[in-house]
Amino acid sequence: MRDLIIIGGGPGGYVAAIRARQLGMKVTLIEKEALGGTCLNRGCIPTKAYYRHAEMLRSLSGMNEFGIGGISDWSFDLGAAKLRKEKVVQNLVSGVGDLLKGNGVEVIRGQASIKSPEKVLVNGQLLEGKRILIASGSVNGVLPIPGNDLPGVLSSDDIINLSEVPARLLIIGGGVIGMEFACIFQAFGSEVTVLEAAPNILGKLDAELVKRMNVYLKKQGVQIHTSVMVHEIVQAEEALQVKGEGKKGMMLEDSDAVLLATGRRPCTSWINSDKLGIKTDQGFIMVDDSFETSVPGIYAIGDVIAGPMLAHLASREGTVAVERMAGMNSHLDYKAVPSCIFTFPEIASVGFSEDEARAQGISCQIGKSQLAGNGKAMTMGEREGFIKVIADEQDRIIGFHIIAPHASDLILEATLMVKEGLHTNQIMSTIHPHPTLGEALQEAVMDIHKEAIHSMPARR
């Protein structure tokens, strides 16, 4: 009898497995495909590998600013980039396997089927465990429009396996996935157009950051059309044509490839939830504070439960779930979950947006800092950026929003501020090293009290 059977070897499942072993549990992990899940094999890591290629290309195009010449005849080989991406992924997949083996986790490859709260069938073998943890992640959402199965119509899984850069790329969906690929492939050389059904791209982001990001994307040459309903995709003689209706009526866009970036849905269809008695809501498994489902002994974490679909959140949920199983009083603070978007510049957020705070009746205090006034940013040649901090009536920091190079690294300090409910004076009195991008975070906090040093004072 095992203490725990985990279904899914992504960042939620494998982290939970290792933590459970640290706590002395006998653990079996079942994974039907490669260890690491979507994040490692088809999501976070492959796209960030490509993002690095895009960064290099952008740097090459700006070499004149740094007095570097003689390299104008460079070219980009997506096939070579694909091979590098696959090598990075394989190294990390192997590393996860080694970690699981080193921690004594039994790994079984195959499709799992839950037969009861203590029994799981895989490869014809019936496994028994005191508890079961579902961590099967998510899959691409399917846009139900005619033509979504035509050659050249791609999912996010497909686009990372292209060997040639499409001359024209049309992206349906202006969320995180769509905008990351828009920036990557624009840097690769594609002419990129984005169609978004909502009034704005990146809809859950602070509205002021969305407005600023639209300006940056336009400068890069990414065309964005919002409030567009796509009706169908058809094959023309030399192109795919996307037909839709926008603010100015009917529209027709030609493209060499179309990316469907309309979100993801929980991978729960394999679970016979009705027979088992597991309660769900719109496909998501319902859980309590211990991540236990409506069936005692069966738990769920990550993309299969409601909330942001983030790898680092799934990992923390997995850790908390097994620690609660072991009798520890662990908890997860959902108000301090950072999110990062790898566009140019990067975007990172944690805590309340201004609109969310005001909707809850909080009298916000707002501080801002422009990256154009930051010495490190200027030396990098990365002057475009904006930082916004939100504090409540008691001067506690409740939200941080960053558009800047390395925003995904800068958000770490901001996350700690929000998680611990730090007060503005604690950040203002903390020495930030110079010259760094991190100084801009402190400047934004100081601006709440009109004490920022490197910002021009408002006219009286």
Catalytic residue numbers, as ranges: 434
Phi, psi of 239 (to 5 degrees): -160, 160
Amino acid at 80: A
Taken in order 182, 186, 189, 193, is the CA torsion positive or negative? positive
Per-residue 3-state assignment (H helix, E strand, C coil) for the chain? CEEEEEECCCCCHHHHHHHHHHCCCCEEEEECCCCCHHHHHCCHHHHHHHHHHHHHHHHHHCHHHHCCCCCCCCCCCHHHHHHHHHHHHHHHHHHHHHHHHHCCCEEEECCEEEEECCEEEECCEEEEEEEEEECCCEEECCCCCCCCCCCCEECHHHHCCCCCCCCEEEEECCCHHHHHHHHHHHHHCCEEEEECCCCCCCCCCCHHHHHHHHHHHHHHCCEEECCCEEEEEEECCCCEEEEEEECCEEEEEEECEEEECCCEEECCCCCCHHHHCCCEECCEECCCCCCECCCCCEEECHHHECCCCCHHHHHHHHHHHHHHHCCCCCCCCHHHCCEEECCCCEEEEEECCHHHHHHCCCCCEEEEEEHHHCHHHHHHCCCCCEEEEEECCCCEEEEEEEEECCHHHHHHHHHHHHHHCCEHHHHHCCCCCCCCCCHHHHHHHHHHCCCCCCCCCCCC
Find out whether 349 and 404 touch, Cβ atoms under 8 Å: no
The contacts of residue 159 (CB under 8 Å, 6+ apart) are 181, 185, 257, 259
Other CB atoms within a 10 A radius of the CB of residue 11 amount to 28
Do residues 201 and 226 touch, judged by C-beta distance below 8 A?
yes
